[in-house]
Amino acid sequence: MSKSERVIEREEVVIRFSGDSGDGMQLTGTLFSNTSALFGNDLSTFPDYPAEIRAPQGTVGGVSGFQVHVGHSEINTPGDYADILVAMNPAAVKANSKFVRKGGTIIIDEDNFTEKNIKKAGYESDPVKEDKLDDFNIISAPISTLVKETLKDHGLDPKTVMRTKNMFALGMVYWLFGRDLEYTDDYFKGKFSKRPKIIEANSAVLHAGFNYAETIDAMSPVYKVSPASIEKGLYRTIDGNTATSWGLLAAAEKSGLDLFIGSYPITPASGILESLAARKNLGVKSFQAEDEIAGICTAIGASFAGDLAVTTTSGPGLALKSEAAGLAVMTELPLVIVNVQRGGPSTGLPTKTEQSDLLQALYGRNGESPMVVIAASTPSDCFDYAFQAARIALEHMVPVILLTDGFLANGSEPWKIPSVKDLPAIKAPLVKEGEDEFIPYERDEKTLARKWAVPGVKGREHRIGGLEKTVKGTVSYIPENHENMVNMRAEKVARVVSKVPDQKIYGDEEGDLLLIGWGGTYGHLLTAVRELRDKGKKVSLAHFNYINPLPANTGKILSSFKKIVVAELNAGQFVKYLRMEFEDFKFYQINKIQGLPFTCADIEDECIKILEE
């Protein structure tokens, strides 16, 4: 039977690569994703890896995975269940078989299924029987043996040889989906330009895996996922951390200011610092601080000096930054604080995703210190909301917290690269020299933003610091003045609503159930609502990006539905906030706190239960 006679066309397919942390599964998944993007598929990815630098080899706790969902139509999630699982050892099967669709294909490296590795993974003797995998298409390939055979004459040491086995598995998957090997060969040439033997070895193993897949009957049928119909333009795949970095760079360009980032490395936010530190050619000033407190304090100093100032962190670091964040509120200086959320509390789950820092972002400072809080929803729109965070901070003279999370930071999707000329202008209220009297806390009538006078501007000298001030900038302990300034700072944040667009609804403007979410849950909730609507359910979605202040039409939206359900990856933080703001409404909850994103199926099932109550 020819290959063309064994091709099944699919609208979408999910592939999960899994193995030890040293098996290169993140790179393997990334290369498959980029090749699929160049082919024209829409896609969404989900890297999943342990926190330990040297995770226990061969154990379930040491398994590293990468899931990618590719499709001919619009893709919004990495997929609930995989159609194909590549498992490089028994622990990878143990950790991931529950995430494989019934009847799916599992490709294993049979050379690694030794008695020792089977026991280490927690099996007695036979993973297939113990996990009841008889209904799956198990492709058992001697990958390690074939890699050694392929490279026996390449003059490489055994350790280097075995590092290429992920490329053999990738070659097999490329054949299964009819993917071209050219992009990956070009990647080898660029990555290892000074090591020709490594280029040759990886390329040889990749092609060997491709050819091996063509020879075995078990690799049947093969799948065809046609390119997606997408708007014309220049595209690239982008992850959330990179998109955040580029959004901040665009804001610096549109505001005419230098960009300063003062940060302490912390998973999963470190990628933003690394990305911006590499952009000195664009005028970025980066400072890797000795701790979180120094990171934010240097950013506040840079803001005082007239830069677009940014500090990045995750939940534990945001706690350490809280006192200095209050200083930014008090001094009324523009500052962007990016919090890439992870599982907590304390060190918690550093490489897993969660939405557990919302209440900290809203209220986690001493005194009355309100801040603007916004949240990105997809890896690519981290660009848009980083840009908006900077725009609001500069034009309203306020600190802004931008919430992303580990799922967004590490996940990727196709992104249409915008033209900077099409982005809105950013006009910071910087003051120049002049003969008129300078009143430091005199405010714009519309926004209540004070003027921004940087050091060295003649006649604009003023006091600044954490002590309460009068409108003229003098220290004041007068009770009425303190109350007035507290109210003024709160009102200034409230007036940011002028920059907040009305909340949009996916679906009908009224109905039986409104599903509410925020941040990185967008794709899963949107997909679930689509499925429910296809089943005839009168369900709509409101997914929030602007948290404080909320969009002006929020109350009107809530009043248009019989039941309101809030779904979030925490114990119920946004729903608590909504209950405080809208006491007359009843809110149902869907919560998950496992370090993993929602599955669309779970959301659908819970919504149906609530509809039937």
Q: Is the pLDDT of residue 387 over 50?
A: yes
236-418 against 511-612: fold identical: yes
Candidate from 257-266, 425-434, 551-560 with smallest mean pLDDT: 425-434
pLDDT tens-digit readout, 181-216:
999 999 999 999 999 999 999 999 999 999 999 998
- Angle between helical axes of 240-255 and 382-396 (0-180°, round to 10): 40
Please give the class, per CATH, of domain 511-612. Answer: alpha beta
Give CA–CA dist 429/255, Å, rounded: 11
Percent of the chain with pLDDT over 90: 91
- What is the per-residue pLDDT for 1? 42
Candidate from 57-61, 186-190, 332-336, 523-527 with smallest mean pLDDT: 57-61
Pick the CATH number of 236-418 from 3.40.630.30, 3.40.50.970, 3.90.950.20, 1.20.200.10: 3.40.50.970
> Which residues have a Cβ under 8 Å from the Cβ of 113 and sit 6 or more positions away?
89, 90, 127, 140
| Average pLDDT of span 392-398 | 98
Residue 265, both tokens? 């490395």
Candidate from 93-102, 138-147, 218-227 with smallest mean pLDDT: 218-227
End-to-end CA distance of the chain: 53
- What is the per-residue pLDDT for 5? 52
Residue 323, both tokens? 């006192």
Strands 308-313 and 335-341, by their bridges, are parallel
Please spell the DSSP secondary structure of 35-75, one letter per residue. Answer: HHHHHT-EEEEEEE--S-TT--TTSGGGEEEEEEEEESS--
| Average pLDDT of span 335-354 | 96
Please count the other Cβ atoms lying within 10 Å of the Cβ belonging to residue 78: 26
- What is the per-residue pLDDT for 408? 97
Residue pair 602/567 in contact by the 8 Å Cβ criterion: no
| Average pLDDT of span 231-248 | 94
Residue 151, both tokens? 């490279």
| Average pLDDT of span 211-240 | 87
Residue 537, both tokens? 């359910």
Type and span of the H or E element at 148: helix 143-150
- What is the per-residue pLDDT for 599? 96
| Average pLDDT of span 582-589 | 97
| Average pLDDT of span 410-415 | 95
Q: Is the pLDDT of residue 4 over 60?
A: no
- Residue 260 three-state SS: strand
pLDDT tens-digit readout, 38-71:
999 999 999 998 888 777 888 998 999 999 999 9
| Average pLDDT of span 318-334 | 98
Give CA–CA dist 203/25, Å, rounded: 17
| Average pLDDT of span 455-473 | 93
Banded pLDDT at 262 (limits 50, 70, 90): very high
Type and span of the H or E element at 194: none
Q: Is the dihedral of CA 207, 212, 215, 219 positive or negative?
A: negative
- Using CA atoms of 178, 184, 185, 187 in order, give the dihedral in degrees to the nearest 10: 160
How high does pLDDT run on average in the chain?
Answer: 95
Q: Is the pLDDT of residue 585 over 60?
A: yes
Domain extent listing, the chain:
3-224, 236-418, 511-612
Q: Is the pLDDT of residue 250 over 70?
A: yes
Residue pair 43/68 in contact by the 8 Å Cβ criterion: yes
CA angle at residue 457 from 452 to 462, to 5 degrees?
A: 60
Residue pair 237/409 in contact by the 8 Å Cβ criterion: no
| Average pLDDT of span 384-401 | 98
Q: Is the pLDDT of residue 222 over 70?
A: yes
Looking at domain 3-224, does it have CATH number 3.40.920.10? yes
Candidate from 29-33, 256-260, 417-421, 431-435 with smallest mean pLDDT: 431-435
